[in-house]
Every structure is written in C-alpha cells, then in structure tokens.
C-alpha cells in the first residue's frame, strides 16, 4: 500500500521532525513546502525566480505558485510521500484534491499532530531563531487557527483525518504515528 500522507498541525507541533523520521523509516519522499521553496530559489529555476521576487517584495507566495511546486514534485514521484506544510488553507486543500485526482494518486490519510498551545510556544521559543519572539509566535499560532485548522474538517468529512498526540519524546510520538498509520491500513475505526 502506497503511503500518501498529509501531515497537519500547528507550527512547533513536530511535523518536520516526525516527517524526517517517518520518511527514513518507510522510504517515503518528504515534501516540505518551505524546503521546496528554498530549493527552487537556490536552483534558480523559473519558479524559483518568481518565488524570490515575491519574497523580496515582502509578500506571501501565492497558492498557485506553491501548488505548481508541489505538482512538479508529485508528477515525477509515483511512490509514497509525506506532505509537510501544505495545504495551509482551504483553497490549497481543494487544489490538492484536484491535483491528486489528476495524478491518480489518492490521499490515504491526513495526520493531525496535536500539541497544546503553551507547549507550542515553549518549543518555538526554544528554537531560538531571532524571528521567534513570543509576540510573533502567538501571531503565527493565531493565523494557523484561523486559516489552517479549518482544513481538519475538510479531511474529517472524507474520513481521512487521524489525530495523534504530539506530546512526549520524539521517539514516543514517532511510535504513535507509526501505529496510527498501520491501524489505518488494517481498516480499523479512526477517531479524532
């Protein structure tokens, strides 16, 4: 069974950390849209040049541009994958549905990593990046709650949503995720 998984959750939930482990453990492609955008810029591709211009203006990269980057990667990768950081809003979720229908690569599960807000703030401040002041971190969490969290309902309605507790050691969370994906393969009931 091909693993085709969207990994959802607020900033700091551990998506990047867990996707790296899961990709290595199961031989999956880890598509992080943040990493992909940076890679396109570094490669000086035509998409990369557009991204660079948008970022230089201080604007957000458009849904269409991010979708084009995801499309490029998925179109040439027929094996399993993990999407990390995409979709980020309901427009992108609808775009991804259409793209996967086009490619004949149905999504198998949308995995939501759940971590309480105070722990997220502590983790993100602990990363020590200069742009991660508490005010900035709380604002990013608000944007997540407003724009990204509603996507959960989109996947729940399609019976694809699977919630995993993201508290505890990195290894414990990885084990929970692995168990959760395997459960799904055996067709057991999934509850969030």
Q: Which parts of 71-130 interact with ligand ADP (CB under 6 A)?
A: 123, 126-127
Phi/psi region, residue 112 (left: phi>0; alpha: psi -120 to 50; beta: rest), is beta
For residue 23, say whether it is annotated as part of any ligand binding site.
Answer: no
Q: Report the distance separating Cα 66 and Cα 71, nearest Å.
A: 9
Q: Please identify which residue in 4, 15, 88, 162 interacts with ligand ADP, judged by CB under 6 A.
A: 15
Residue 4 touching ligand ADP (CB under 6 A):
no
Residue 17 touching ligand ADP (CB under 6 A):
yes
Q: Please identify which residue in 3, 5, 6, 12 interacts with ligand ADP, judged by CB under 6 A.
A: 12
E strand or H helix at 111 = strand 109-114
Q: Nearer to ligand ADP by C-beta: 119 or 188? A: 119
Burial class (CB in 10 A: 0-12, 13-18, 19+), 82: buried
For residue 14, say whether it is annotated as part of any ligand binding site.
Answer: yes
Q: Report the distance separating Cα 75 and Cα 104, nearest Å.
A: 10
Q: Which parts of 138-177 interact with ligand ADP (CB under 6 A)?
A: 168-170, 173
Q: Which residues bind ligand ADP (CB under 6 A)?
A: 9, 11-17, 123, 126-127, 168-170, 173
């Amino acid at each position: 069974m091909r693993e085709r998984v969207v990994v959802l959750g607020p900033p700091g939930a551990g998506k990047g950390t867990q996707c790296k482990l899961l990709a290595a453990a199961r031989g999956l492609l880890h598509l992080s849209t943040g990493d992909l955008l940076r890679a396109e810029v570094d490669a000086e591709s035509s998409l990369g040049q557009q991204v660079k211009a948008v970022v230089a203006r201080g604007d957000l990269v458009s849904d269409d541009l991010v979708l084009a980057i995801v499309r490029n990667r998925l179109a040439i990768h027929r094996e399993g994958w993990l999407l990390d950081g995409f979709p980020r809003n309901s427009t992108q979720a609808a775009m991804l549905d259409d793209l996967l229908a086009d490619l004949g690569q149905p999504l198998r599960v949308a995995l939501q990593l759940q971590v309480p807000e105070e722990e997220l703030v502590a983790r993100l401040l602990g990363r020590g990046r200069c742009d991660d002041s508490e005010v900035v971190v709380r604002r990013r969490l608000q944007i997540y709650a407003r724009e990204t969290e509603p996507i959960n309902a989109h996947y729940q309605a399609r019976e694809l949503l699977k919630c995993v507790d993201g508290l505890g050691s990195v290894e414990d969370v990885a084990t929970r995720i692995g168990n959760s994906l395997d459960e799904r393969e055996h067709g057991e009931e999934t509850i969030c």
